[in-house]
Structure 1
Amino acid sequence: MISASAAMGFGLARSLWALRSVAKSDACSLILRRRHLSSTSGHLDLGKNFAFAFDIDGVLVRGSKAIEEGKQALRLLQEHKIPWILLTNGGGKTEAERVAGLSRELGIKISEDQFIQSHTPFKRLVNTYDKVLVSGGDGDKCRHVAQTYGFKDCVTSVDLIALNPTIWPFHRFTAADMKRAQSLSDSPFDAVLVFNDPRDWGCEAQIIIDILTSQAGKFGTKNPTLDQTVPIYFSNNDLLWANEYHLPRFGQGAFRTSIEKLFLDYTGTPLESTIIGKPFLFTYEYAHSFLNEWRKSAFGYTEDVQRVYMVGDNPASDIRGGNSYGWSTLLVKTGVYQEGDHLDAKSKPRATVANVLEAVLYAIEHEHELSLRK
């Protein structure tokens, strides 16, 4: 006699076999695959023991265009009530703004409670620092993000250039940019926070080095020994990221490398910095706690998730970080990673698949296999 749960499991196994047998290039086939899964596994509590964390760029979207398999994957998880969050090294906008845009692009409602971008953990620094240099992003967007987090005194490069353009005479700020400059307080800088990739590396680098080597954070001063007097935080370390262009592009990690080199050449000592975002432990700890809170509020699960599948396109951040934290990692071929790229031991995924839909199907099949062993 086969139990009801076992019979349901065999039904899921058959459906997964069917999913694998359909032509992957046919969009209609993808819909049939989802429908077949729905018809045979509707009574299984698929999301009780596992969940997903997805990178965004190169996994669900490329630039401003959604990847079709990303839409399919998220709808599949939504239909079967399998928990998932988005964990990205992107940023530069408020969480609310980014979620609204992604919801439109992917055709599915996404909650802010499912979304972590690179600088989201900066919220924990609000009570530590008062006056901060907010670096990176378009226009005044990152200042706005910092203010929504609760930072009290947020300064950007345009504020300093408007006060004295000779700080960096090669700046590219327009007259309209200068009009949004804000007045400066006399208090010293407490920290430098790099929220996003700067648009004018030369200007940002000069101002950042000036602040780091100032006398106790007082802009326009220089301490005689060129000691680092102000802490600096980078919100992610991605050397590369994927957009519509066919080759990966430099990211914030490249800017960090340039700041480190400039600081070392100028002062003779290595820069001391704090880097968050993937692949660093701080961000994965934050994300794991965030995911459990989301599962509890959205699905009523009171026990911590047993397994998390990190789906990403960047071996150096998504996969390395997930492996280090103990998550299962799935690497897709729709972004930074290209077939034949060398992977070191720490950046090797559990599996490499064509796209995010295949990653989701792989994980569900694995979960089914685990359920049959019990």
Structure 2
Amino acid sequence: MSLLSAGLLSARYSSARQLSRTAFNARKISTTKSRPPIAIAFDIDGVLKQGSKVLPEALQTLDMLEGNNQWHTKVPYLFITNSGGKMESERAKDLSKDFQRKVTKDQVIQAHTVMQSLARMYADKPILMIGGPNLPPGGCRSVLESYGFNQVYTAFDLHAYAPASYPYAAPDPEQQKAVRQVDFSKVQFEAIFVFHDSREWGRDIQYCVDVMRSDGGVFGTVLSNKELLNRKIPPIYFSHGDLLWGNDFSVPRLGQGAFRFALESVWKQVSNGAELNATTFGKPEQLTYEYANELLHELLRHTSEDKNLRVSPENVWMIGDNPASDVMGANGFGWSSALVRTGVWTDDQGPPAHKPTLIADNVQQAVEQIMKRTWN
């Protein structure tokens, strides 16, 4: 485990005992030499849900993991999603309602969860937050503040401060109650966080470029391309890199990865070929899987009488619908991977770019195959 993920785990839990036992106090994993433990990480969109619709196989699958299977054995599981925009505790409440069972925040890893590891670096430094659900106003800023970032400013703040900076639309009146009235001529941005998918690409690309070209991170100033060569450009952090994602529409939608490609193209043009100083979190990045691996083992230790129990990497499964994030990330970390046909990837696209351990029609079939191949 890297120092970043170790620090994040330490920050999120002051001790292993703080893991919520509410959903797990009755889940004792019975294992024998012939029945090794299994642990499962689920993607959500395109696997368990399609937009707001919960797939019928999802409920049956979670019942199986609760012990309703021919082996009468329970399996620890969590959710890794490249979605976000809210507190992990709020996401857990939403999933509890969706799946009709208790889900704890300790079972939820969102795209931006691992960005908490940056708080030690930027706790008291000004950062520009891009993207995220617009409602409730100020909600996304609150999430970053709960992570330990104390100077978070948004695109809405910049637009209210200087309406001419994005002349194609008026500042959103619905956001006014959450806007921070700041003299940005006195603020030096240290970094940009693309916290969630942008809702307004034109404005957000403009503001990212403005901050990266600025003199000392001051919005409204600009350096020449020659000066940029000798200056530190504020880094930009993306919460995930999904080009596409699936919902209840018939065709996958463009994600944050597409926004990054658009920003990179514009940045190269205005900066005479400079590269983005960028870091990406979420799936398939290794830090996310390091963090998930430790969480799964914490859950396993709290559901087993053997507190030293470990799952062999090949028996930790990532079940997803996107070869470029779910499968690639799992394979790269040494986990097994299951690809389902209910989301981004379909057979008519040809063989997946990253080969999964198995392919199934839906999540229930995937879990059934995993149990049979491991326990038979």
- TM-score normalised by structure 1 residue count: 0.83
Matched residue of 2:61: which SS? helix
Q: Deviations over 1:169-220 (max 9, x none)?
A: 1136421222321133633111111111111111111111111111221222
> How far 1:344 sits from its partner (Å)?
5.2
d(CA) in 1 for partners of 2:29, 2:192 = 51
- Local SS of the residue matching 1:340: helix
- Other-structure match for 1:45: 31
Q: Deviations over 1:273-305 (max 9, x none)?
A: 101111111211121122222222344542332
For 2:166 and 2:91, locate their aligned partners in 1 and report how far apart those are by CA, in whole Å: 32
Provide structure 2 residue ranges, at least 5 long, that are not aligned to the other structure: 1-27, 68-72
Per the alignment, residue 92 of structure 1 pairs with 85
Are 2:282 and 1:287 equivalent residues in the alignment? no
Q: How far off its partner does 1:312 sit? A: 0.2
Gaps of at least 5 residues in structure 1 are 1-41, 370-374
User: Is 2:217 the partner of 1:213?
Assistant: no
Identify the residue that residue 33 of structure 1 maps to in structure 2. Answer: none
Q: Which has the larger radius of gyration?
A: 1
- Work out the CA distance in 2 between the residues paired with 1:170 and 1:73: 48
Of 365, 371, 374, the residue aligned with 1:364 is 371
The Cα shift of 1:49 comes to: 2.2
Conservation of the 8 A alpha-carbon contact between 2:29 and 2:37: no
Contact 2:160 2:171 in 1 (8 A): no
Q: How many residues align?
A: 327
Deviation at 1:44, TM superposition (A): 4.6
1:103 aligns with 2:91: no
Task: Tell me which residue corresponds to 1:246.
Answer: 250
Q: Does 2:128 correspond to 1:136? A: no
Where 1:247 maps in the other structure, the secondary structure is coil
Q: What are the Cα deviations for residues 213-267 of structure 1, in whole angstroms up to 9, with x where unaligned?
A: 1122122212233356101000111010011101111011100111111111110
What CA distance in whole angstroms lies between the structure 2 residues aligned with 1:305 and 1:216?
48
> Considering only aligned residues, what root-mean-square deviation do their CA atoms show, in Å?
1.9
Q: For the residues of structure 2 that align with 1:323 and 1:364, how far apart are their CA atoms? A: 19
Taking the aligned partners of 2:349 and 2:238, their CA distance within structure 1 comes to 27
Distance 1:43 1:336 in 2: 33
Q: Distance in 2 between matches of 1:238 and 1:124?
A: 21
Percent of residue pairs bearing the same amino acid type = 39
Q: How far did residue 94 of structure 1 move?
A: 1.1
Deviates more, 1:173-182 or 1:159-168: 173-182
Q: TM-score, normalised by structure 2?
A: 0.83
Equivalent residue number for residue 19 of structure 1? none
**Corresponding residue number in structure 2 for 1:342:** 350
Corresponding residue number in structure 2 for 1:65: 53
- Structure 1 SS opposite 2:198: coil
CA distance 1:211–1:113, shift in 2 (3 Å): same
Q: Distance in 2 between matches of 1:184 and 1:174?
A: 17
What residue number does 1:31 align with? none
Alignment check: 8 A CA contact 2:36 2:375 kept: no
Distance 2:299 2:190 in 1: 33
Q: C-alpha displacement at 1:358, in angstroms?
A: 0.7
Cα pair 1:319 1:329 within 8 Å, conserved: yes
1:283-322 to structure 2, matched below 5 A, reads 283-299=288-304, 301-306=307-312, 307-322=315-330
- Partner-residue secondary structure (3-state), 2:66: helix
